[in-house]
Amino acid sequence: MRDVITTYPESRRDDQVDVYQNAAGEAVQVPDPYRWLEDPDSPETQAWVAEQNRVTQAFLASLPARDAYRERLTGLWDYPREGAPWKRGEHYFRHFNPGLLNQPVLEVATSPTGLWRTLLDPNTLSSDGTVALGSASVSRDGRRLAYGTQSGGSDWMTWQVRDVAGGQDLPDQLTWSKFSGAAWLPDGSGFYYAAYDAPQDGGALTSTNRHQRLMLHRLGSAQAEDTVIIERPDEPDWGFRAEVTHDGQYLVVHVWKGTDPRNLLWVRPLHSDGPFTELVSDFHASYRLIGNDGPLLYVQTTADAPRGRILTWNVETGEQREIIPEGPNALQEDFTVLVPGGLLTVALHDASHRLTLHTRTGEVRRELPLPGLGAVVSLNALPDDPEVFLAFTSFLSPATPYRLSLPEGTFESLSDVAPAFDASAFEVTQEFAVSLDGTRVPMFIVARRGLNRDGRNPTLLYGYGGFGISLTPAFNPSRLAWLERGGVYVQANLRGGGEYGEDWHQAGTLGDKQNVFDDFIACAEHLIASGVTSPAHLGIQGGSNGGLLVGACMTQRPDLFAAVVPQVGVLDMLRYHLFTIGWAWASDYGRSDDPDMLGTLLAYSPLHNLRAAAYPATLITTGDHDDRVVPAHSFKFGAQLQRCQTGTAPTLLRIQTRAGHGAGKPTRLVIEEAADIWAFLEHHLKLQSGQATSS
């Protein structure tokens, strides 16, 4: 096959120029010639997308390994995947995929070991598998399921209610909900949820999402009759997440503002219509309700503790008392739970998890050894039930559900299934790179045992580095095929993430965002210096904020990589805040209408730093229904990169129709996309046929 693509689809350039103000008060003119690509529904954009896909698919179809990857990935995905159960009333619930279903089903049983029956099968809701179950919440007594579905990859959710015993839907249907769960009233008569006004003028996939409201829906009533619990026209960027305490005494509301981890915490008696008590009234730290003993709330916070601490807060007296102080490892917010007579905490130690049982006054009862070097991916517990369920995963073992019996702390595996893959042939090691400013940056290296460090190993370096999100060991069937064929997979833990707490996160934000790119480049240079690989055999990949990461790194160091895969990336740093929920990312990025941030954004914005140069082979992926990071980022970046490329490496856009940011993507489309990416990487990272092993 030929690598050189001599003709790309024409990308019309307009004379659009925007004027910004910098910190010195000067006007800065910035051309935006592909502004027209911001309209995903225009006939011109759709024709351009079709032509880009035609060129890309012709190239991908010629890759020798594509069919082999599709076949192997289909086999690797075809194994039963059982989620950790959770209990409500006398029923247990779990997500389950027997193998190759496009969407997992929701099942119910009267025992955590089955017999399971299907309660909701999203695969029946569309012919192409693109309607996904976005959220599910079961009432306290286990009789009703509130479930939110998402169509075509959109973040918009439609809520419905299903009777658990009979499996029939009630008439209730709630639309235009986004970034919301459902918090049931104790008697199951209704639930709290969050909603927006319906988008106007067909802007469902592009218009900004502001003015969220917290609503109470009573079963059997129309959505128009729902009660507005909180709306703040004076604070259009505030969002609201409701939680009803397990004893039914209190309604607790977490008030969020974009992706900033700092939040407000409000509480009032559940059946009161009076004002909320504002326990936290300014955005200075994160606060998360763990549970309560009557008026005594258990709260996890980063206030004066960037790695997290736990305190009790008496809502009647206002008294606070620290019970678990900040430690050397970062507490994970979503994995601290109340259990009978105690608390379970999950903390990060060099990007892998540690599980600890405490008393309710904070003393350590025991460390609970996890099955290996990996991560807890779900932890389901009730404060008055000794049965705890969790799922644990690692790079080489799939997420496996366990029952944890307390107070003994014994684990019982609830599944023994796994894909047909010989994990013993591979190993996981952790190494540390030294970033430009001397910071130690951890990375996991997954490779065949006895890796020959001759600098010739095709290696994929993956990263994210943003929003306090930690990259922990995780199983992905897709990577197994890459490993089997001789590839190396590396996962970097960059600043901007949460691996070492909030200080680590903040060190990769705003004016310090360049630290994230420096960390990633340092990891690449470490892999080269240690003989794992070389620039001719090194590829990088990242999605969303990780798409920004690899886009910035390829524009700053095009010499360091042979292939780049930016997926659903944030690539236009001057206009990201103008679409859907993009404004919410300003806590990490800053905004171009802030003169003090304009220079920083222009310095690394991938779109604005493309120049005539020999860039690595690039496969840009996005979805035409992505209403989180709108596809215009990828469209504009791809058009400009095709124009600037002076080398022979291809610049391709793979644009999936009826797909969004990634969540809920059908298994069929996941496999097809993964096969295309791996075949593209294998070809450009020069994996030799002799390196591949049969499977």
**Active-site residue 587, yes or no?**
no
Question: Could you say which DSSP state residue 309 is in?
Answer: E
Bond prior to 602 in cis (omega within 30° of 0): no
> Of 544, 592, 605, 634, which one is the catalytic site residue?
544
Length of the chain: 695
What are the strands, taking DSSP E only, across 395-545? 397-405, 410-413, 426-434, 440-448, 459-462, 488-492, 538-543
Half-sphere exposure of 467 (CA within 13 A, CB side): 16
Contact criterion met (CB below 8 Å) for 105 and 123: yes
For 429, other C-beta atoms within 10 Å of its C-beta total: 11
Cα–Cα distance for residue pair 64/3, rounded to 1 Å: 13
Radius of gyration for the alpha carbons in the chain, expressed in angstroms and rounded: 25
Q: What CA–CA distance (Å, rounded) separates 573 from 565? A: 18
Closest CA to 377 of 408, 346, 404: 346
**What distance in Å separates the CA atoms of residue 24 and residue 458, rounded to the nearest whole number?**
46
Total Cβ atoms within 10 A of residue 202: 9
SS percent in the chain: helix, strand, coil, step 5: 20, 35, 45
Annotated catalytic residue, options 91, 95, 526, 661: 661
**Catalytic site includes residue 626:** yes
Distance CA 655, CA 636 (A): 13
Six-digit token string for 227: 């009660």
Residue pair 144/163 in contact (Cβ under 8 Å)? The answer is yes
> What whole-number distance in Å separates Cα of residue 64 and Cα of residue 388?
48
- What are the distances in angstroms from CA 61 to CA 36, 53, 360, 638? 30, 12, 59, 20
Indicate the SS3 state at residue 581.
coil
Q: By the 8 A CB rule, do 603 and 514 touch? A: yes
- Residue 613 class from Cβ within 10 Å (0-12 exposed, 13-18 middle, 19+ buried)? middle
Say if residue 168 is exposed, middle or buried (CB neighbours under 10 Å; 0-12, 13-18, 19+): exposed
| Runs of H (alpha helix) within 20-107 | 43-61, 66-77
Q: Is 559 a catalytic residue?
A: no
Nearest to 330 by CA among 472, 130, 465: 472
Q: Which two tokens stand for residue 294?
A: 């009557």
Given the residues 32, 626, 627, 676, select the one marked as catalytic: 626
* CA–CA distance, 439 with 665 (Å, rounded to integer): 37
d(C-alpha 211, C-alpha 683), whole Å: 48
Which residues are identified as catalytic?
A: 544, 626, 661
